[in-house]
């Protein structure tokens, strides 16, 4: 049995089905995909309200896309190389110079063996143009979706988070959610609107209790993959309880807070990748499957600072739209825009994991099985892939392998 039909859950289910297992998938939402959500706007354009970018090294995404005949579409813009705009904006050349300086300072710090500061503290110590520092800080804080003073320096690898080399990025022509939908379509038993409330391990297997429309029912399985966002794991009653170290790690892992805004456009917009230098949010106009810019401006705002400054908690996009208009005076906005605040989603409680040093040191615990229960989700992926579609898929594949070993 697989609990959760986000990317991690459907990947685990597919891997288990391929191995000859009978698999039941229970999903609390009325759709599959989890934090990957593709929607069609009023003007007919396809927007990603959840995870969007397929990176050059995303092998699992590409492999599954190929298996189901899903076409990759070049975005036509660069995810990392953004044009800073706003009061504190630096030129791209100034940003590149600051990033080079940060890379050198990071390498020297590593070589010295001195304790590493937070990412925020480190950026404050790097010599360089103040406007470039503001632009880089805004980009990084938006990306990790939390305050940089709580982020360990170099958490994603020894090369540091300071390179912004040009690369080609993709989305799926039919929407990124189509991976989950395609997998679910070939699975014989996917049950939507079934929220799992209890997992009890017994001598003969595992009993999973779910609730739908206020009615509870129980199912028996040989083993279970729990593939729900980390904030939801403590709401499942495990019998016996999860080991104390795993429970504590789950409860104390920080979650980033991020939101997206999809704004239909009039006319023929030009491609762009624009970073606000004043706040941790950015926006873009990218290509669709036909290689033509979509009539759509999408914006991503990460961290509590951005949520407050753009008044996202109110559910009103007026302030966010005003900031986007300032950054993009050439665009004509259509209506209505669509906003998704993942921190307010009761089945997500945040965008993706935001690792502090304490959680980083516990990262292996998130991948540990307990009895006949394995865990998947972006928060259980290797550090290079946490918070991504690729990480979620890889975690599901890994959890399926653990289950197969358990029941063999």
Phi/psi at 383 (5° precision): -55, -30
Strand partners, 166: none
- Name the pLDDT band for 161 (thresholds 50, 70, 90): low
- The domain boundary residue, chosen from 324, 351, 378: 351
Is residue 76 in some structural domain?
no
Which helix or strand (DSSP H or E) is residue 309 part of? helix 304-309
In a domain, 12, yes or no: yes
What is the pLDDT, as a whole number, of residue 158? 40
Q: Which of 316, 336, 351 is the last residue of a domain?
A: 351
Are 136 and 262 members of one domain? no
The CATH number of whichever domain residue 216 belongs to comes to 3.50.50.60
Average pLDDT over residues 178-194: 98
Q: Are 261 and 370 part of one and the same domain?
A: no
Same domain, 217 and 364: yes
DSSP characters over 157-171:
-TT-S--------EE
137/274 same-domain check: no
The domain total for the chain is 3
Residue 384's domain spans which residues? 2-30+177-254+355-407
> Is the same domain home to 44 and 99?
no
Domain end point (choices 309, 336, 351) = 351
Query: Looking at residue 164, what is its pLDDT?
Result: 77
| Rounded average pLDDT over 198-209 | 97
Residue 362 shares a structural domain with residue 337: no
- Nearest to 156, CA basis, from 353, 366, 375: 353
Q: Same structural domain for residues 230 and 360?
A: yes
Percent of the chain at pLDDT above 70?
98
Contact present, 394 and 375 (Cβ < 8 Å)? no
283 and 237 co-located in one domain:
no
CATH code, 318:
3.90.660
How does pLDDT run across 230-248, given as a tens digit for each residue?
A: 999 999 999 999 999 999 9
pLDDT surpasses 80 at 160: no
| Residue 97 is assigned to a structural domain of this protein | yes
What would the pLDDT profile of 342-390 be if each residue is shown by its tens digit?
Answer: 999 999 999 999 999 999 999 999 999 999 999 999 999 998 899 999 9
Judge whether 157 lies within some domain: no
pTM of the model: 0.97
């Amino acid at each position: 049995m697989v609990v959760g039909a986000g990317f991690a859950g459907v990947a685990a289910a597919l891997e288990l089905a391929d191995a000859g297992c009978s698999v039941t998938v229970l999903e609390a939402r009325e759709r599959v995909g989890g934090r990957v959500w593709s929607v069609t706007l009023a003007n007919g354009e396809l927007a990603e309200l959840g995870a969007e970018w397929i990176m050059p090294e995303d092998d699992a995404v590409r492999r599954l896309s190929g298996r189901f005949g899903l076409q990759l579409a070049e975005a036509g813009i660069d995810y990392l190389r953004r044009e800073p705009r706003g009061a504190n904006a630096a030129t791209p050349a100034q940003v590149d110079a600051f990033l080079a300086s940060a890379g050198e300072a990071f390498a020297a710090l590593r070589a010295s063996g001195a304790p590493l500061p937070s990412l925020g503290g480190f950026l404050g110590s790097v010599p360089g143009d103040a406007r470039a520092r503001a632009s880089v800080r805004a980009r990084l804080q938006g990306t990790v979706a939390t305050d940089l003073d709580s982020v360990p320096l170099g958490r994603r690898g020894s090369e540091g988070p300071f390179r912004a080399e040009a690369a080609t990025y993709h989305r799926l022509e039919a929407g990124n959610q189509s991976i989950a939908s395609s997998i679910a379509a070939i699975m014989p038993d996917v049950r939507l609107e079934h929220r799992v409330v209890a997992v009890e391990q017994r001598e003969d297997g595992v009993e999973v209790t779910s609730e739908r429309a206020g009615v509870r029912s129980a199912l028996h399985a040989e083993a279970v993959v729990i593939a729900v966002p980390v904030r939801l794991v403590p709401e499942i009653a495990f019998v016996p309880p999860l080991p104390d170290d795993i429970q504590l790690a789950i409860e104390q892992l920080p979650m980033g807070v991020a939101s997206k805004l999809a704004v239909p456009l009039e006319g023929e917009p030009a491609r762009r990748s624009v970073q606000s230098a004043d706040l941790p949010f950015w926006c873009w106009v990218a290509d669709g499957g036909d290689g033509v810019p979509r009539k759509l401006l999408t914006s991503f705002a990460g961290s509590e600072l951005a949520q407050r400054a753009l008044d996202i908690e109110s559910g009103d996009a007026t302030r966010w739209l005003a900031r986007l208009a300032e950054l993009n005076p050439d665009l004509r906005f259509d209506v209505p825009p669509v906003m998704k605040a993942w921190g307010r989603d009761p089945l997500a409680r945040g965008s993706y994991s935001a690792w502090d040093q304490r959680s980083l040191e516990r990262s292996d615990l998130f991948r540990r099985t307990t009895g006949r229960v394995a865990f998947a989700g972006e928060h259980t992926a290797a550090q290079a892939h946490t918070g991504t579609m690729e990480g979620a898929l890889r975690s599901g594949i890994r959890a399926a392998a653990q289950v197969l070993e358990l029941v063999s």
